Amino acid sequence: MQQKVLITDCVDAPGLITKITGVCYAHGLNITKNSEFVDHAQGRFFMRTQLEGKIDDGQLLADLDGVLPAQRHIKLVAAGTKRIVVMVTKEAHCLGDLLMKAYYGALDVEIAAIIGNYDTLKPLADKFDIPFYTVSHEGLSRHEHEQQMLEIIAKYQVDYLVLAKYMRVLTPEFVAQYPNTIINIHHSFLPAFIGASPYRQAWERGVKIIGATAHFVNNCLDEGPIIKQDVIHVDHSYSAEELAKCGRDVEKSVLSKALQLVLQEAVIVYGNKTVVF
């Protein structure tokens, strides 16, 4: 019994749910869960369908092509464990949370390797027997540094890259190799306080909530499609350092929840937005 997720993204039209489920029924497939959304402003239809049965991928997709509008994007993804590489700098809280959840099965993911531009977090990786690669940026151009990382990543045939407080901006050339597959945690409730030192920016502004945002990386700093956000309440008595300390709990929670959604194929990117089922 195979289990797969069918993702449909197409121009909205009457009867799409019936057409898609009808094709699945004709293939003898059981639909265990189905979610759909219509963006009326864009005239766009999205659907996530969990299937089980004996699935002929090629024929199923061909039959769906025959009933869907011309402007469409459909994909069929196997359920099961995905492989990631995590990129880090010095902060341990997000990496530690991912390692623990992966180890105990709260995240259905294989952390294949960890890459850091410092070796600060290698002892943490060693405790979980995860390969850790230190790729220092010192004395290298940005291109040279990223090329060394790309050579390591290529060994693992990853499904996603996760930036767990990786504190360097990736070049467009790097991002282009992994479109909509690089997940970043930003320590701010975007679009507020982008870039460096967001907690100090928030403190200087006197905010009463702080938050974190997990998003896909694109070529605009901290402006990629948002996957998950959350906030906590603060007040005037917090220093910038205390805001940062409180924010770490939000950051690790938001990152792991965002990764979980992505692993479950519950996130559809369109334009610079997402549909999250």
Q: Is 47:34 a contact under the CB 8 Å cutoff?
A: yes
Q: Is 87:149 a contact under the CB 8 Å cutoff?
A: yes
- Residues 152-158 have a mean pLDDT of 96
Supply the pTM of this predicted model: 0.90
Q: Quick check: 30 pLDDT over 60?
A: yes
What is the amino acid identity at position 242?
E
How far apart (Å, rounded) are the C-alpha atoms in residues 33 and 52? 10
Q: Sketch the domain layout of the chain as residue ranges.
A: 2-78, 82-276
* pLDDT tens, residue by residue, 232-271: 888 888 887 887 888 889 999 999 999 999 999 999 999 8
What is the amino acid identity at position 71?
Q
The one catalytic residue among 9, 97, 159, 222: 222
What is the amino acid identity at position 114?
I
pLDDT of residue 222: 76
Q: Which of 114-128, 172-186, 206-220 has the lowest mean pLDDT?
A: 206-220
Q: Do domains 2-78 and 82-276 have the same CATH topology?
A: no
Q: Is 35:277 a contact under the CB 8 Å cutoff?
A: yes
Q: What is the full DSSP assignment across 3-15?
A: EEEEEEEEE--TT
* pLDDT tens, residue by residue, 66-124: 999 988 999 999 988 999 999 999 999 999 999 999 999 999 999 999 999 999 999 99
Q: Quick check: 193 pLDDT over 80?
A: no
Q: How many CB atoms lie within 10 A of CB 109?
A: 23
CATH class of residue range 82-276: alpha beta
Q: Would you state the CATH architecture of domain 2-78? A: 2-Layer Sandwich (3.30)
How far apart (Å, rounded) are the C-alpha atoms in residues 270 and 135? 33
Q: Quick check: 194 pLDDT over 70?
A: no
Residue from 41, 24, 65, 33 nearest 265 by CA: 33
Average pLDDT, the chain: 93
Output 39-42 pairs: Cβ under 8 A, ≥24 positions apart: 39/12, 39/270, 39/275, 40/12, 42/270, 42/271
Q: Is 9 a catalytic residue?
A: no
- The percent of residues above 70 in pLDDT, for the chain, comes to 96
Strand 132-134 relative to strand 267-270: parallel, antiparallel, unpaired? unpaired
How far apart (Å, rounded) are the C-alpha atoms in residues 260 and 256? 6
pLDDT of residue 79: 85
Helix (H) or strand (E) holding 214: strand 209-216
Q: Quick check: 11 pLDDT over 70?
A: yes
